[in-house]
């Protein structure tokens, strides 16, 4: 199995771990941001990370690996490949997480839910609801990075390759805002409007 140091090296060498002032998908602010797309763009890293995450759930007879779009798509694909399972992804339709494009889960299938980064666990919980709503049996949750500080409990075994204790702040309590550092929404390289501060 990969060590935390091994995974950290991959993230640093691919510039997937960034520092600055970032708007997280949860709406909170942070001085660090993990952009897993940067490490997953390298197939050798993606395969290595997916294989290692898969090994943590081997022996459970996983039938389906599913993750939320966009971040969970490549993770689900690489983990499913390593487990010999089916790879699926959910996406939002009118604000609700759902399976589309003719993808389905059969009742009783053993399902592993995966994500690139878990912060609050919100999108992961939405995927869990989709799986259970279709009769799937959730065997566990896996992530490349857990930045929740150990504050998430999905009610099933949870494994992450890298656990980072990274501070995040409500917009009104953000010390980085008070320092006047421009807020960046990762992926856009633009600062959001003043309503975000």
- Residue 148 buriedness (CB in 10 A; 0-12 / 13-18 / 19+): buried
How many domains in the chain? Answer: 1
Token pair, residue 50, equals 């997916």
CB atoms under 10 Å from CB of 10, counted, come to: 22
CB atoms under 10 Å from CB of 63, counted, come to: 20
pLDDT attached to residue 51: 97
Per-residue pLDDT of the chain (197 residues; tens, 9 = 90+): 889 899 999 999 999 988 899 998 778 899 988 889 999 999 999 999 999 999 999 999 999 999 998 889 999 999 999 999 999 999 998 888 889 898 899 999 999 999 999 988 899 999 999 999 999 999 999 999 998 888 899 999 999 999 988 888 999 999 999 999 999 987 644 444 443 33
Task: Say whether 115 sits in a helix, a strand or coil.
Answer: strand
What's the whole-model pTM score?
A: 0.83
SS3 assignment for 23-81: ECCCCCEEEEEECHHHHHCCHHHHHHHHHHHHHCCCCCCCCEEEEECCHHHHHHHHHHH
β-strand 64-68 against 110-118: which pairing, if any?
parallel
Per the structure, the complete domain to which residue 91 belongs is given by 4-196
CATH number where 17 lies: 3.40.50.2020
Query: Distance between CA 40 and CA 61 in Å, rounded?
Result: 25
């Amino acid at each position: 199995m990969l060590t935390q140091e091994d995974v950290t090296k991959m993230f640093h060498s691919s510039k997937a771990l960034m520092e600055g002032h970032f708007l997280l998908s949860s709406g909170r602010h942070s001085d660090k941001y993990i952009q897993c797309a940067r490490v997953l763009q390298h197939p050798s890293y993606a395969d290595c990370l997916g294989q290692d995450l898969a090994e943590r759930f081997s022996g459970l007879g996983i039938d389906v690996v599913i993750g939320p779009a966009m971040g969970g798509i490549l993770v689900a694909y690489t983990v499913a490949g390593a487990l010999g399972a089916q790879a699926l992804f959910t996406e939002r339709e009118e604000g609700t997480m759902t399976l589309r494009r003719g993808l389905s889960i059969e009742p009783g299938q053993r399902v592993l839910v995966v994500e690139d980064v878990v912060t609050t666990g919100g999108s992961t919980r939405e995927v869990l609801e989709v799986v259970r709503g279709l009769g799937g049996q959730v065997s566990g949750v896996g992530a490349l990075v857990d930045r929740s500080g150990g504050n998430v409990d999905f009610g099933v075994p949870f494994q992450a390759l890298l656990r980072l204790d990274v501070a995040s702040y409500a917009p009104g309590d953000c010390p980085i805002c008070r320092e006047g550092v421009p807020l960046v929404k990762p992926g856009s390289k633009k600062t959001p409007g003043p309503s975000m501060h």
